[in-house]
Amino acid sequence: MSSLLHTLHQDAVPYSRPITPASHHPTKIGFVGLGSMGYLIAQNLANYHAAHSDGNPPVLVWNRSAEKSEKLLQALGKDKIRIAQDLGQVATECDVIITNLANDAAVKSVYEKFTAALTHLPPTGNKIFVETSTIYPSLAGELDALVSSIPHSHLITCPVFGTPAVAEKAQLLIIMSGDYRSKKEVAYLLVPAVGRKVIDLGGNLEKAPTFKLIGNSMILGTLEILAEAFTLAEKSGIGAENVHNLVKEILPAPGTIAYSDKMANDKFDGKAGFAIDGGIKDASHIRKLTAELNSPMPAIDIAHQHLLTARAIHQGHKQEGTAKFETLDWSGIIAGTRVAAGLDGLDSQKHDSIVRED
């Protein structure tokens, strides 16, 4: 059994295990950004880190709002989590610093603060910065310029695929590009602690964020097709339930079924999924990339429009005080296709029932 587990682990991580030097000290891990994904990744990492290594210090966390950090500390305890006073403390005290943030501006700002702190107090040992956010590829070069100005410091880009439910189960798909030795060390920190498999895209730091956008274009394209199909089913009298059952029969991927269920049953709570603001940001990045490379993706252009429509409808509901959810999930894209077809955007119970005669 142990040899089987070893083989499975080798398949999940495309690198040999790093050699531990005689003077090796416990790895100090920092984690910045406790959003819907970051919180779960940090939680799993802290639990695994504490359970599988003797003498490892708690994971040092920082979040813009202290409430999330306090929540994680209360959930896991002081033996697994410490709360940093500021970003400078994370940068100077930790060997591996993982960031998971909402947008490119936040990522750039955080890395500028890291650099400022380390310029004032340069490290004497190796540091690895692990950027897991969904960013525009060219930002990776800007971050590398910042990190490379600090002695003994390396950056790897490391976006992940998976919903919060997947993150909670430590089943994320991890994409890596950058310095080989750094990827090797980080891979064994993250698998199986937070993810099931690493895909290595080489040394070019822009490759991983590019791949992430390509993957997200596939997911967003699927959402658009599902939204159009559900809307047509409602207009034709077929009904959402029949379409959802068909999805389970012919497109039985877990993620596709989950999004189908959300659209069929108006489950648009962004706090339990992926907020529509993030979806619009990703769609904008994809469209910018396709323009730069002269590689049209018309489905993404349409999806972007429908995401904007859905957000506008939701914001209108919030202003009226009638919104069912504080944050709209990006599966709410169906609001765009529904209103285009003359239906209510976010409440299928308001749709007139259409029954076609045999």
Contact residues for 339 (Cβ-Cβ < 8 A; gap 6+): 309, 313, 345
Q: CA distances (Å), 245 to each of 220, 242, 248, 258, 287, in order?
A: 21, 5, 5, 12, 32
Full 3-state SS string of the chain: CHHHHHHHHHHHCCCCCCCCCCCCCCCCEEEECCCCCHHHHHHHHHHHHHHHCCCCCCEEEECCCHHHHHHHHHHHCCCCEEECCCHHHHHHHCCEEEECCCCHHHHHHHHHHHHHHHHHCCCCCCEEEEECCCCCHHHHHHHHHHHHCCCCEEEEECCEECCHHHHHCCCEEEEEEECHHHHHHHHHHHCCCCEEEEEECCCCCCHHHHHHHHHHHHHHHHHHHHHHHHHHHHHHCCCHHHHHHHHHHHCCCHHHHHHHHHHHHCCCEHHHCCEHHHHHHHHHHHHHHHHHCCCCCHHHHHHHHHHHHHHHHHHHHHHHCCCCCCCEEHHHHHHHHHHHCCCCCCCHHHCCCCCCCC
Average of per-residue pLDDT values in the chain: 94
Assess whether pLDDT exceeds 50 at residue 5: no
251 — pLDDT class (breaks 50, 70, 90): very high
Instruction: Report the C-alpha gap between 224 and 2 in whole angstroms.
Output: 44
Q: Which structure tokens are listed for 44? A: 């799993």
CB 321 within 8 A of CB 331: no
Instruction: Report the C-alpha gap between 269 and 197 in whole angstroms.
Output: 28
Q: What is the pLDDT of residue 55?
A: 79
56 — pLDDT class (breaks 50, 70, 90): confident
7 — pLDDT class (breaks 50, 70, 90): very low
In this structure, the strands spanning 127-131 and 96-99 are parallel
pLDDT in tens, 105-118: 999 999 999 999 99
**Average pLDDT of the residues in 83-99:** 98
The count of C-alpha atoms lying within 13 angstroms of the C-alpha of 25, restricted to the half-sphere facing its C-beta, is: 8
**Average pLDDT of the residues in 307-322:** 98
Q: Which structure tokens are listed for 16? A: 């040999």
Task: Please report, rounded to a whole number, the percentage of residues in the chain having pLDDT higher than 70.
Answer: 94
pLDDT in tens, 122-170: 999 999 999 999 999 999 999 999 999 999 999 999 999 999 999 999 9
Residue holding tokens 């990492």? 45
Q: Position 257: which residue type?
A: I
Instruction: Report the C-alpha gap between 262 and 226 in whole angstroms.
Output: 11
Instruction: Report the C-alpha gap between 277 and 272 in whole angstroms.
Output: 14
**Average pLDDT of the residues in 2-16:** 61
Q: Which residues pair with 176 in a beta bridge?
A: 200
Q: What is the pLDDT of residue 181?
A: 96
Contact residues for 193 (Cβ-Cβ < 8 A; gap 6+): 44, 45, 47, 48, 49, 170
pTM higher than the cut 0.85:
yes
Q: CA distances (Å), 345 to each of 137, 309, 335, 336, in order?
A: 34, 9, 4, 7
Taken in order of first residue, the domains within the chain and their CATH numbers are: 2-204 (3.40.50.720), 211-350 (1.10.1040.10)
Instruction: Report the C-alpha gap between 122 and 199 in whole angstroms.
Output: 32
pLDDT in tens, 237-246: 999 999 999 9
